[in-house]
Structure 1
Amino acid sequence: MRIIPLDNKIKNRYDSLFKIATHAFVNGLIPLLDLPEDDYTIISNEIFKPGRDVKIMDILLKGKNGYINIEFHKQPLSKSHLNRDFEYVLQCYFHYGETMDQKIVILDKDRKSIDKLQILKNLEYNAQCYFTPEVDGATILNNIKDKIVDNETLTDYEQYVFSILPLTNHGHDNVEKLVEELCHLTEKLNIPEKNKEAIAFCQMILVDLFVNDKNLQEKLLDVIRMTSSCIEERENRLRNIAEKEKQKRIKAEQNEKQEKQKRIKAEKRINEVNTILKENRHDQKTIQKILAIISKI
Protein backbone atom coordinates (compact mmCIF):
# COMPACT_ATOMS: atom_id res chain seq x y z
CA MET A 1 0.00 0.00 0.00
CA ARG A 2 1.51 3.33 -1.07
CA ILE A 3 1.47 6.02 1.58
CA ILE A 4 1.50 9.68 0.53
CA PRO A 5 1.52 12.94 2.55
CA LEU A 6 -1.78 14.16 3.94
CA ASP A 7 -4.09 15.45 1.22
CA ASN A 8 -4.13 19.26 1.01
CA LYS A 9 -6.88 19.39 -1.61
CA ILE A 10 -9.74 19.35 0.87
CA LYS A 11 -13.08 19.32 -0.90
CA ASN A 12 -15.03 21.68 1.32
CA ARG A 13 -15.19 23.31 4.72
CA TYR A 14 -17.03 20.41 6.36
CA ASP A 15 -14.34 17.99 5.22
CA SER A 16 -11.75 20.43 6.57
CA LEU A 17 -13.48 20.50 9.95
CA PHE A 18 -13.69 16.72 10.30
CA LYS A 19 -10.15 16.14 9.04
CA ILE A 20 -8.56 18.68 11.40
CA ALA A 21 -10.45 17.22 14.37
CA THR A 22 -9.58 13.67 13.34
CA HIS A 23 -5.88 14.38 12.92
CA ALA A 24 -5.76 16.17 16.28
CA PHE A 25 -7.89 13.77 18.33
CA VAL A 26 -7.75 10.47 16.47
CA ASN A 27 -8.52 8.32 19.51
CA GLY A 28 -11.68 10.36 20.02
CA LEU A 29 -13.07 8.31 17.13
CA ILE A 30 -13.08 5.14 19.22
CA PRO A 31 -16.34 5.91 21.07
CA LEU A 32 -17.66 8.11 18.24
CA LEU A 33 -17.54 5.32 15.63
CA ASP A 34 -17.55 2.24 17.87
CA LEU A 35 -13.97 1.40 16.90
CA PRO A 36 -12.07 -1.40 18.62
CA GLU A 37 -9.82 -0.13 21.40
CA ASP A 38 -6.42 0.49 19.82
CA ASP A 39 -3.67 3.07 19.51
CA TYR A 40 -4.50 4.37 16.04
CA THR A 41 -2.28 6.35 13.72
CA ILE A 42 -3.50 8.27 10.67
CA ILE A 43 -2.07 7.73 7.24
CA SER A 44 -3.23 9.31 4.01
CA ASN A 45 -3.57 6.84 1.21
CA GLU A 46 -3.83 6.98 -2.55
CA ILE A 47 -5.46 4.17 -4.48
CA PHE A 48 -4.05 3.78 -7.96
CA LYS A 49 -5.84 1.79 -10.63
CA PRO A 50 -4.21 1.58 -14.07
CA GLY A 51 -6.12 3.65 -16.63
CA ARG A 52 -7.96 5.62 -13.96
CA ASP A 53 -7.41 8.71 -11.84
CA VAL A 54 -5.69 8.32 -8.49
CA LYS A 55 -8.30 8.16 -5.73
CA ILE A 56 -7.60 9.46 -2.25
CA MET A 57 -9.57 8.38 0.81
CA ASP A 58 -10.65 10.94 3.39
CA ILE A 59 -9.00 9.22 6.37
CA LEU A 60 -7.18 5.92 6.72
CA LEU A 61 -6.40 4.63 10.22
CA LYS A 62 -3.85 1.97 10.98
CA GLY A 63 -4.11 -0.06 14.15
CA LYS A 64 -2.67 -3.32 15.39
CA ASN A 65 -5.54 -5.22 13.78
CA GLY A 66 -5.42 -3.59 10.37
CA TYR A 67 -6.82 -0.64 8.47
CA ILE A 68 -10.01 1.39 8.91
CA ASN A 69 -11.18 3.83 6.23
CA ILE A 70 -13.36 6.78 7.29
CA GLU A 71 -15.34 8.78 4.74
CA PHE A 72 -17.14 12.06 5.50
CA HIS A 73 -20.33 13.15 3.74
CA LYS A 74 -22.23 16.39 4.25
CA GLN A 75 -25.16 15.23 2.10
CA PRO A 76 -27.23 12.07 2.57
CA LEU A 77 -25.48 9.01 1.19
CA SER A 78 -26.60 8.39 -2.40
CA LYS A 79 -26.03 5.18 -4.33
CA SER A 80 -23.20 6.83 -6.32
CA HIS A 81 -21.54 7.95 -3.06
CA LEU A 82 -21.77 4.46 -1.59
CA ASN A 83 -20.52 2.93 -4.85
CA ARG A 84 -17.45 5.17 -4.63
CA ASP A 85 -16.83 4.36 -0.97
CA PHE A 86 -17.24 0.62 -1.58
CA GLU A 87 -14.83 0.89 -4.50
CA TYR A 88 -12.13 1.99 -2.03
CA VAL A 89 -12.61 -1.26 -0.13
CA LEU A 90 -12.46 -3.36 -3.31
CA GLN A 91 -9.45 -1.58 -4.82
CA CYS A 92 -7.56 -1.76 -1.55
CA TYR A 93 -7.96 -5.54 -1.59
CA PHE A 94 -7.49 -6.25 -5.31
CA HIS A 95 -4.53 -3.91 -5.89
CA TYR A 96 -2.72 -4.04 -2.55
CA GLY A 97 -3.87 -7.29 -0.98
CA GLU A 98 -5.13 -5.47 2.13
CA THR A 99 -8.54 -5.76 3.75
CA MET A 100 -9.98 -2.83 5.66
CA ASP A 101 -13.03 -1.88 7.65
CA GLN A 102 -14.99 1.20 6.59
CA LYS A 103 -16.98 3.76 8.60
CA ILE A 104 -19.07 6.49 6.96
CA VAL A 105 -19.84 9.73 8.80
CA ILE A 106 -22.88 11.66 7.54
CA LEU A 107 -23.90 15.16 8.55
CA ASP A 108 -27.44 15.22 7.13
CA LYS A 109 -29.77 12.92 9.09
CA ASP A 110 -33.05 14.50 7.97
CA ARG A 111 -32.97 12.94 4.52
CA LYS A 112 -32.65 9.20 3.92
CA SER A 113 -29.26 7.75 3.09
CA ILE A 114 -28.59 4.62 1.04
CA ASP A 115 -26.83 2.16 3.33
CA LYS A 116 -26.83 -1.04 1.28
CA LEU A 117 -25.52 -2.20 -2.09
CA GLN A 118 -26.67 -5.40 -3.77
CA ILE A 119 -23.44 -6.78 -5.21
CA LEU A 120 -24.68 -10.22 -6.25
CA LYS A 121 -27.98 -12.04 -5.74
CA ASN A 122 -26.79 -13.39 -2.39
CA LEU A 123 -24.16 -10.77 -1.59
CA GLU A 124 -24.78 -7.34 -0.05
CA TYR A 125 -22.49 -4.57 1.14
CA ASN A 126 -23.94 -2.96 4.26
CA ALA A 127 -22.44 0.43 5.06
CA GLN A 128 -21.62 1.29 8.66
CA CYS A 129 -23.09 4.79 8.85
CA TYR A 130 -22.82 7.26 11.73
CA PHE A 131 -24.71 10.55 11.91
CA THR A 132 -23.20 13.54 13.71
CA PRO A 133 -26.65 14.90 14.76
CA GLU A 134 -26.98 11.73 16.88
CA VAL A 135 -23.91 12.65 18.93
CA ASP A 136 -25.01 14.02 22.32
CA GLY A 137 -23.15 17.33 22.08
CA ALA A 138 -25.29 18.97 24.79
CA THR A 139 -24.18 16.48 27.45
CA ILE A 140 -20.56 16.64 26.32
CA LEU A 141 -20.59 20.46 26.51
CA ASN A 142 -22.03 20.38 30.04
CA ASN A 143 -19.36 17.85 31.08
CA ILE A 144 -16.66 20.11 29.61
CA LYS A 145 -18.00 23.13 31.52
CA ASP A 146 -17.87 21.11 34.76
CA LYS A 147 -14.29 20.09 33.96
CA ILE A 148 -13.35 23.73 33.36
CA VAL A 149 -14.62 24.61 36.85
CA ASP A 150 -12.63 21.72 38.38
CA ASN A 151 -9.62 22.28 36.06
CA GLU A 152 -9.82 18.67 34.85
CA THR A 153 -8.24 17.42 31.63
CA LEU A 154 -10.53 16.66 28.68
CA THR A 155 -10.52 13.27 26.97
CA ASP A 156 -9.78 12.95 23.25
CA TYR A 157 -13.47 12.22 22.67
CA GLU A 158 -14.56 15.38 24.49
CA GLN A 159 -12.06 17.46 22.53
CA TYR A 160 -13.19 15.92 19.24
CA VAL A 161 -16.87 16.62 19.95
CA PHE A 162 -16.04 20.13 21.21
CA SER A 163 -14.32 20.81 17.86
CA ILE A 164 -17.41 19.88 15.82
CA LEU A 165 -20.10 20.63 18.42
CA PRO A 166 -22.44 22.75 16.23
CA LEU A 167 -22.82 19.69 13.96
CA THR A 168 -24.01 17.50 16.85
CA ASN A 169 -27.23 17.33 18.88
CA HIS A 170 -26.25 20.42 20.87
CA GLY A 171 -29.68 21.58 22.10
CA HIS A 172 -29.13 25.27 21.22
CA ASP A 173 -31.67 27.26 19.20
CA ASN A 174 -29.14 29.94 18.23
CA VAL A 175 -26.08 28.36 16.62
CA GLU A 176 -24.29 31.73 16.36
CA LYS A 177 -24.48 32.09 20.14
CA LEU A 178 -23.23 28.53 20.54
CA VAL A 179 -20.19 29.20 18.33
CA GLU A 180 -19.52 32.41 20.28
CA GLU A 181 -19.66 30.49 23.57
CA LEU A 182 -17.30 27.80 22.27
CA CYS A 183 -14.75 30.38 21.12
CA HIS A 184 -14.69 31.97 24.57
CA LEU A 185 -14.45 28.58 26.34
CA THR A 186 -11.43 27.31 24.41
CA GLU A 187 -8.89 29.39 26.33
CA LYS A 188 -10.18 27.90 29.60
CA LEU A 189 -9.74 24.25 28.55
CA ASN A 190 -7.17 22.19 30.44
CA ILE A 191 -5.54 20.68 27.35
CA PRO A 192 -2.12 20.93 25.66
CA GLU A 193 -1.41 24.07 23.63
CA LYS A 194 -1.20 22.12 20.36
CA ASN A 195 -4.73 20.82 20.96
CA LYS A 196 -5.98 24.38 21.43
CA GLU A 197 -4.33 25.24 18.11
CA ALA A 198 -6.30 22.48 16.37
CA ILE A 199 -9.56 23.57 18.00
CA ALA A 200 -8.82 27.18 16.99
CA PHE A 201 -8.52 26.14 13.34
CA CYS A 202 -11.82 24.23 13.62
CA GLN A 203 -13.49 27.28 15.16
CA MET A 204 -12.33 29.51 12.32
CA ILE A 205 -14.27 27.19 10.01
CA LEU A 206 -17.29 27.15 12.37
CA VAL A 207 -17.35 30.97 12.40
CA ASP A 208 -17.28 30.96 8.61
CA LEU A 209 -20.08 28.38 8.43
CA PHE A 210 -22.49 29.57 11.08
CA VAL A 211 -21.87 33.23 11.98
CA ASN A 212 -23.57 35.62 9.57
CA ASP A 213 -23.09 38.84 11.53
CA LYS A 214 -19.90 40.41 10.10
CA ASN A 215 -19.11 42.33 13.28
CA LEU A 216 -19.47 39.19 15.38
CA GLN A 217 -17.31 37.30 12.89
CA GLU A 218 -14.47 39.78 13.38
CA LYS A 219 -14.84 39.74 17.17
CA LEU A 220 -14.74 35.94 17.30
CA LEU A 221 -11.77 35.74 14.95
CA ASP A 222 -9.96 38.12 17.32
CA VAL A 223 -10.82 35.81 20.23
CA ILE A 224 -9.51 32.82 18.25
CA ARG A 225 -6.30 34.66 17.40
CA MET A 226 -5.68 35.40 21.06
CA THR A 227 -6.32 31.75 21.93
CA SER A 228 -3.99 30.44 19.25
CA SER A 229 -0.37 31.61 19.35
CA CYS A 230 0.19 29.68 16.12
CA ILE A 231 -2.40 31.74 14.23
CA GLU A 232 -1.16 34.97 15.79
CA GLU A 233 2.46 34.17 14.92
CA ARG A 234 1.46 33.25 11.37
CA GLU A 235 -0.41 36.53 10.94
CA ASN A 236 2.58 38.45 12.33
CA ARG A 237 4.83 36.68 9.84
CA LEU A 238 2.46 37.53 7.01
CA ARG A 239 2.33 41.17 8.15
CA ASN A 240 6.13 41.30 8.27
CA ILE A 241 6.38 39.77 4.81
CA ALA A 242 3.80 42.25 3.49
CA GLU A 243 5.70 45.17 5.06
CA LYS A 244 8.99 44.01 3.55
CA GLU A 245 7.35 43.64 0.15
CA LYS A 246 5.88 47.13 0.51
CA GLN A 247 9.31 48.61 1.34
CA LYS A 248 10.82 46.79 -1.64
CA ARG A 249 8.15 48.26 -3.93
CA ILE A 250 8.72 51.77 -2.53
CA LYS A 251 12.48 51.45 -3.02
CA ALA A 252 12.02 50.11 -6.55
CA GLU A 253 9.67 53.00 -7.38
CA GLN A 254 12.20 55.50 -5.97
CA ASN A 255 15.03 53.92 -7.99
CA GLU A 256 12.90 54.00 -11.12
CA LYS A 257 12.07 57.67 -10.52
CA GLN A 258 15.76 58.53 -10.04
CA GLU A 259 16.71 56.64 -13.20
CA LYS A 260 14.01 58.47 -15.12
CA GLN A 261 15.30 61.84 -13.89
CA LYS A 262 18.84 60.83 -14.93
CA ARG A 263 17.61 59.88 -18.40
CA ILE A 264 15.80 63.22 -18.77
CA LYS A 265 18.94 65.17 -17.75
CA ALA A 266 21.12 63.09 -20.07
CA GLU A 267 18.77 63.67 -23.00
CA LYS A 268 18.76 67.41 -22.24
CA ARG A 269 22.57 67.57 -22.28
CA ILE A 270 22.80 65.52 -25.47
CA ASN A 271 20.40 67.98 -27.08
CA GLU A 272 22.67 70.84 -25.90
CA VAL A 273 25.68 69.15 -27.51
CA ASN A 274 23.76 68.57 -30.75
CA THR A 275 22.74 72.22 -30.79
CA ILE A 276 26.39 73.34 -30.38
CA LEU A 277 27.57 70.93 -33.07
CA LYS A 278 25.02 72.31 -35.50
CA GLU A 279 26.61 75.74 -35.06
CA ASN A 280 29.71 74.20 -36.70
CA ARG A 281 32.19 75.96 -34.41
CA HIS A 282 35.47 74.21 -33.63
CA ASP A 283 37.32 76.71 -31.44
CA GLN A 284 38.93 75.66 -28.16
CA LYS A 285 36.20 77.29 -26.06
CA THR A 286 33.44 75.40 -27.87
CA ILE A 287 35.27 72.09 -27.52
CA GLN A 288 35.75 72.64 -23.77
CA LYS A 289 32.05 73.47 -23.41
CA ILE A 290 31.07 70.24 -25.16
CA LEU A 291 33.44 68.19 -22.97
CA ALA A 292 32.04 69.84 -19.84
CA ILE A 293 28.47 68.91 -20.86
CA ILE A 294 29.44 65.31 -21.75
CA SER A 295 31.21 64.81 -18.41
CA LYS A 296 27.90 65.43 -16.62
CA ILE A 297 26.02 62.75 -18.55
Structure 2
Amino acid sequence: MPELPEVETIVGELIENQLVGDTISKMSFSFSKVLQNISEQDLHKKLTHAKILNIYRRGKWIVFVFKGFILGFHLRMTGKLWIQNQIKDFHKHERAKFFLGSKRVLVFEDQRKFGRIHYSEEKDPFPKLGMEPFSMTFNAKTLKALFSKSKRTLKAFLLDQTKIAGLGNIYVDEALFASKLHPQEIVNRLTLKETERLVLAIQEVLKTGIENNGTTLGNHRSNYASAKGKGGSNQNRLKVFRKDGKPCLVCGSLIVKIRVATRGTHFCPNCQKIK
Protein backbone atom coordinates (compact mmCIF):
# COMPACT_ATOMS: atom_id res chain seq x y z
CA MET A 1 0.00 0.00 0.00
CA PRO A 2 1.36 3.45 -0.89
CA GLU A 3 2.16 5.34 2.32
CA LEU A 4 2.97 8.97 3.05
CA PRO A 5 6.19 9.22 0.97
CA GLU A 6 4.60 7.57 -2.07
CA VAL A 7 1.50 9.76 -1.89
CA GLU A 8 3.63 12.88 -1.34
CA THR A 9 5.66 11.97 -4.43
CA ILE A 10 2.52 11.58 -6.54
CA VAL A 11 1.11 14.92 -5.34
CA GLY A 12 4.39 16.66 -6.13
CA GLU A 13 4.46 15.25 -9.65
CA LEU A 14 0.83 16.19 -10.32
CA ILE A 15 1.60 19.77 -9.30
CA GLU A 16 4.85 19.75 -11.28
CA ASN A 17 2.86 18.68 -14.34
CA GLN A 18 0.65 21.75 -13.93
CA LEU A 19 -2.64 20.03 -13.16
CA VAL A 20 -3.51 22.91 -10.84
CA GLY A 21 -5.41 25.37 -13.02
CA ASP A 22 -6.48 22.69 -15.50
CA THR A 23 -10.17 21.79 -15.89
CA ILE A 24 -12.17 18.57 -16.13
CA SER A 25 -13.93 18.34 -19.50
CA LYS A 26 -15.51 14.92 -18.95
CA MET A 27 -15.00 11.65 -17.08
CA SER A 28 -15.58 7.95 -17.55
CA PHE A 29 -15.79 5.01 -15.13
CA SER A 30 -15.36 1.29 -15.67
CA PHE A 31 -16.06 0.62 -11.97
CA SER A 32 -18.47 3.17 -10.45
CA LYS A 33 -18.28 1.55 -6.98
CA VAL A 34 -14.95 3.34 -6.62
CA LEU A 35 -16.97 6.46 -5.70
CA GLN A 36 -17.82 7.39 -2.10
CA ASN A 37 -20.58 9.83 -1.05
CA ILE A 38 -21.75 10.61 -4.57
CA SER A 39 -23.21 8.85 -7.59
CA GLU A 40 -21.53 8.81 -10.97
CA GLN A 41 -24.37 10.89 -12.43
CA ASP A 42 -24.13 13.57 -9.73
CA LEU A 43 -20.35 13.72 -9.99
CA HIS A 44 -20.63 14.36 -13.72
CA LYS A 45 -22.82 17.38 -12.96
CA LYS A 46 -20.43 18.70 -10.31
CA LEU A 47 -17.13 18.04 -12.04
CA THR A 48 -17.73 18.84 -15.70
CA HIS A 49 -15.86 22.11 -16.52
CA ALA A 50 -14.70 22.41 -12.88
CA LYS A 51 -11.25 23.93 -12.34
CA ILE A 52 -8.60 22.26 -10.20
CA LEU A 53 -7.70 24.88 -7.60
CA ASN A 54 -5.18 22.91 -5.55
CA ILE A 55 -3.78 19.44 -4.92
CA TYR A 56 -2.46 18.32 -1.54
CA ARG A 57 -1.88 15.27 0.62
CA ARG A 58 -3.78 14.40 3.81
CA GLY A 59 -2.57 11.16 5.39
CA LYS A 60 -2.62 8.69 2.49
CA TRP A 61 -5.23 10.68 0.56
CA ILE A 62 -4.47 12.65 -2.63
CA VAL A 63 -6.85 15.60 -2.46
CA PHE A 64 -8.04 17.66 -5.44
CA VAL A 65 -9.67 20.96 -4.50
CA PHE A 66 -12.48 22.43 -6.58
CA LYS A 67 -14.81 25.33 -5.85
CA GLY A 68 -17.14 24.11 -3.11
CA PHE A 69 -15.92 20.51 -2.90
CA ILE A 70 -12.96 18.13 -2.95
CA LEU A 71 -12.21 14.77 -4.51
CA GLY A 72 -9.90 12.55 -2.48
CA PHE A 73 -8.15 9.55 -4.02
CA HIS A 74 -7.07 6.69 -1.75
CA LEU A 75 -4.86 4.14 -3.48
CA ARG A 76 -5.23 1.38 -0.86
CA MET A 77 -3.26 -1.73 -1.87
CA THR A 78 -2.68 -1.49 -5.63
CA GLY A 79 -3.99 1.92 -6.70
CA LYS A 80 -2.19 4.32 -9.01
CA LEU A 81 -2.96 7.86 -10.13
CA TRP A 82 -1.10 8.92 -13.23
CA ILE A 83 -1.18 11.22 -16.22
CA GLN A 84 -1.87 9.89 -19.71
CA ASN A 85 -0.73 12.24 -22.46
CA GLN A 86 -3.06 10.83 -25.09
CA ILE A 87 -6.53 9.30 -25.04
CA LYS A 88 -6.53 5.50 -25.00
CA ASP A 89 -9.09 2.78 -24.37
CA PHE A 90 -9.53 1.53 -20.81
CA HIS A 91 -6.90 -0.94 -19.65
CA LYS A 92 -8.54 -3.78 -17.70
CA HIS A 93 -7.31 -2.39 -14.34
CA GLU A 94 -8.20 1.27 -15.00
CA ARG A 95 -11.28 2.24 -12.97
CA ALA A 96 -11.76 5.94 -13.77
CA LYS A 97 -10.54 8.50 -16.29
CA PHE A 98 -10.78 12.27 -16.02
CA PHE A 99 -10.32 14.07 -19.32
CA LEU A 100 -8.63 17.44 -18.86
CA GLY A 101 -8.96 20.68 -20.73
CA SER A 102 -5.26 20.37 -21.63
CA LYS A 103 -6.12 17.22 -23.65
CA ARG A 104 -4.42 14.98 -21.08
CA VAL A 105 -6.11 12.25 -19.03
CA LEU A 106 -5.89 11.65 -15.28
CA VAL A 107 -6.12 7.88 -14.80
CA PHE A 108 -7.10 6.05 -11.63
CA GLU A 109 -5.90 2.46 -11.85
CA ASP A 110 -6.47 -0.24 -9.25
CA GLN A 111 -5.96 -3.93 -9.90
CA ARG A 112 -7.64 -5.17 -6.69
CA LYS A 113 -10.50 -2.61 -6.63
CA PHE A 114 -9.85 -1.54 -3.01
CA GLY A 115 -9.09 2.09 -3.88
CA ARG A 116 -11.67 4.82 -3.44
CA ILE A 117 -12.57 8.29 -4.73
CA HIS A 118 -14.14 10.33 -1.92
CA TYR A 119 -16.41 13.34 -2.53
CA SER A 120 -16.90 15.94 0.19
CA GLU A 121 -18.18 19.47 0.60
CA GLU A 122 -17.08 19.65 4.25
CA LYS A 123 -14.43 22.10 5.47
CA ASP A 124 -12.55 19.14 6.96
CA PRO A 125 -13.21 16.24 4.58
CA PHE A 126 -11.28 13.74 6.74
CA PRO A 127 -12.15 14.56 10.37
CA LYS A 128 -11.14 11.16 11.74
CA LEU A 129 -7.53 11.36 10.56
CA GLY A 130 -4.87 11.92 13.19
CA MET A 131 -1.78 14.13 13.32
CA GLU A 132 0.42 14.72 10.31
CA PRO A 133 4.00 13.55 11.03
CA PHE A 134 5.53 16.82 9.82
CA SER A 135 3.03 19.09 11.59
CA MET A 136 3.80 21.32 14.59
CA THR A 137 1.48 19.21 16.75
CA PHE A 138 3.49 16.06 16.11
CA ASN A 139 6.01 16.11 18.93
CA ALA A 140 7.12 13.92 21.83
CA LYS A 141 4.95 15.68 24.40
CA THR A 142 1.74 15.27 22.37
CA LEU A 143 2.53 11.70 21.41
CA LYS A 144 3.46 10.74 24.98
CA ALA A 145 0.09 12.07 26.15
CA LEU A 146 -1.67 9.80 23.62
CA PHE A 147 0.51 6.86 24.63
CA SER A 148 -0.39 7.29 28.30
CA LYS A 149 -4.06 6.56 27.53
CA SER A 150 -3.42 3.34 25.60
CA LYS A 151 -2.38 -0.25 26.28
CA ARG A 152 -1.89 -1.15 22.63
CA THR A 153 1.33 -2.39 21.10
CA LEU A 154 3.55 0.22 19.50
CA LYS A 155 3.13 -1.24 16.02
CA ALA A 156 -0.67 -1.30 16.27
CA PHE A 157 -0.80 2.27 17.60
CA LEU A 158 1.42 3.69 14.86
CA LEU A 159 -0.64 2.02 12.12
CA ASP A 160 -3.84 3.61 13.46
CA GLN A 161 -4.69 6.43 11.03
CA THR A 162 -6.85 8.17 13.66
CA LYS A 163 -3.68 8.71 15.72
CA ILE A 164 -1.02 9.48 13.13
CA ALA A 165 -1.98 9.90 9.48
CA GLY A 166 0.14 8.48 6.68
CA LEU A 167 2.19 5.74 8.34
CA GLY A 168 2.01 2.17 7.08
CA ASN A 169 3.79 -1.13 7.46
CA ILE A 170 7.04 -0.25 5.69
CA TYR A 171 7.83 3.02 7.44
CA VAL A 172 6.61 1.90 10.87
CA ASP A 173 9.02 -1.05 10.80
CA GLU A 174 11.85 1.20 9.65
CA ALA A 175 11.09 3.90 12.26
CA LEU A 176 10.94 1.37 15.10
CA PHE A 177 14.31 -0.03 14.06
CA ALA A 178 15.83 3.46 13.83
CA SER A 179 14.51 4.31 17.31
CA LYS A 180 15.54 0.92 18.79
CA LEU A 181 12.01 0.14 19.96
CA HIS A 182 10.33 -3.27 19.90
CA PRO A 183 7.10 -3.41 17.81
CA GLN A 184 5.30 -5.28 20.62
CA GLU A 185 6.21 -2.76 23.32
CA ILE A 186 3.13 -1.39 25.10
CA VAL A 187 2.91 2.30 24.33
CA ASN A 188 2.11 3.54 27.85
CA ARG A 189 5.46 2.12 29.01
CA LEU A 190 7.51 4.41 26.79
CA THR A 191 9.48 7.19 28.45
CA LEU A 192 9.56 10.74 27.13
CA LYS A 193 13.12 10.19 25.92
CA GLU A 194 12.09 7.08 23.98
CA THR A 195 9.13 8.97 22.52
CA GLU A 196 11.42 11.79 21.41
CA ARG A 197 13.63 9.22 19.70
CA LEU A 198 10.61 7.73 17.96
CA VAL A 199 9.31 11.09 16.70
CA LEU A 200 12.68 11.91 15.15
CA ALA A 201 12.95 8.43 13.63
CA ILE A 202 9.47 8.62 12.06
CA GLN A 203 10.24 11.99 10.48
CA GLU A 204 13.65 10.82 9.27
CA VAL A 205 12.48 7.61 7.57
CA LEU A 206 9.58 9.48 5.94
CA LYS A 207 11.90 12.23 4.73
CA THR A 208 14.27 9.63 3.27
CA GLY A 209 11.33 7.92 1.58
CA ILE A 210 10.22 11.18 -0.03
CA GLU A 211 13.76 12.00 -1.17
CA ASN A 212 13.90 8.60 -2.89
CA ASN A 213 10.45 8.99 -4.52
CA GLY A 214 8.92 6.22 -2.44
CA THR A 215 9.37 2.47 -2.11
CA THR A 216 8.64 0.06 -4.98
CA LEU A 217 8.73 -3.59 -3.92
CA GLY A 218 8.86 -5.42 -7.26
CA ASN A 219 8.26 -4.95 -10.97
CA HIS A 220 4.65 -6.13 -11.26
CA ARG A 221 2.08 -3.65 -12.56
CA SER A 222 0.37 -3.71 -9.14
CA ASN A 223 3.48 -2.31 -7.41
CA TYR A 224 3.76 1.37 -6.58
CA ALA A 225 4.62 3.80 -9.36
CA SER A 226 4.48 7.59 -9.32
CA ALA A 227 2.26 9.86 -11.43
CA LYS A 228 4.98 9.72 -14.08
CA GLY A 229 4.85 5.94 -14.05
CA LYS A 230 8.23 5.61 -12.35
CA GLY A 231 9.08 3.38 -9.42
CA GLY A 232 10.77 4.70 -6.30
CA SER A 233 14.25 3.75 -5.07
CA ASN A 234 13.73 3.79 -1.30
CA GLN A 235 13.64 -0.02 -1.25
CA ASN A 236 17.42 0.21 -1.54
CA ARG A 237 17.55 2.12 1.76
CA LEU A 238 15.41 -0.21 3.88
CA LYS A 239 17.12 -1.67 6.97
CA VAL A 240 14.60 -4.26 8.22
CA PHE A 241 11.44 -4.36 6.11
CA ARG A 242 11.39 -7.69 4.20
CA LYS A 243 14.94 -8.35 5.40
CA ASP A 244 14.00 -11.34 7.59
CA GLY A 245 16.79 -13.91 7.78
CA LYS A 246 19.42 -11.34 6.80
CA PRO A 247 22.00 -9.86 9.21
CA CYS A 248 21.21 -6.59 10.97
CA LEU A 249 23.33 -3.78 9.56
CA VAL A 250 24.06 -2.57 13.10
CA CYS A 251 24.81 -5.71 15.15
CA GLY A 252 24.82 -8.65 12.74
CA SER A 253 21.92 -10.50 14.40
CA LEU A 254 19.39 -12.00 12.00
CA ILE A 255 16.30 -9.89 11.26
CA VAL A 256 13.12 -11.61 12.46
CA LYS A 257 9.60 -11.52 11.03
CA ILE A 258 6.56 -11.90 13.29
CA ARG A 259 2.92 -10.82 13.11
CA VAL A 260 1.79 -7.80 15.09
CA ALA A 261 -1.66 -6.24 14.63
CA THR A 262 -2.24 -8.80 11.84
CA ARG A 263 0.69 -7.36 9.87
CA GLY A 264 4.01 -8.91 8.95
CA THR A 265 6.53 -7.12 11.16
CA HIS A 266 10.31 -7.02 10.79
CA PHE A 267 12.79 -6.13 13.53
CA CYS A 268 16.18 -6.90 15.04
CA PRO A 269 15.77 -8.91 18.29
CA ASN A 270 19.08 -7.58 19.60
CA CYS A 271 18.77 -3.87 18.75
CA GLN A 272 15.03 -3.72 19.56
CA LYS A 273 14.60 -5.44 22.89
CA ILE A 274 11.24 -5.39 24.67
CA LYS A 275 11.17 -4.18 28.28
Task: Specify the structure having the higher radius of gyration (Cα).
Answer: 1
**Relative contact order higher in (CA < 8 Å, ≥ 6 apart):** 2
Same fold (TM > 0.5): no
TM-score normalised by structure 1 residue count:
0.24
TM-score normalised by structure 2 residue count:
0.25
When you count helix as a share of all residues, which structure comes out higher?
A: 1
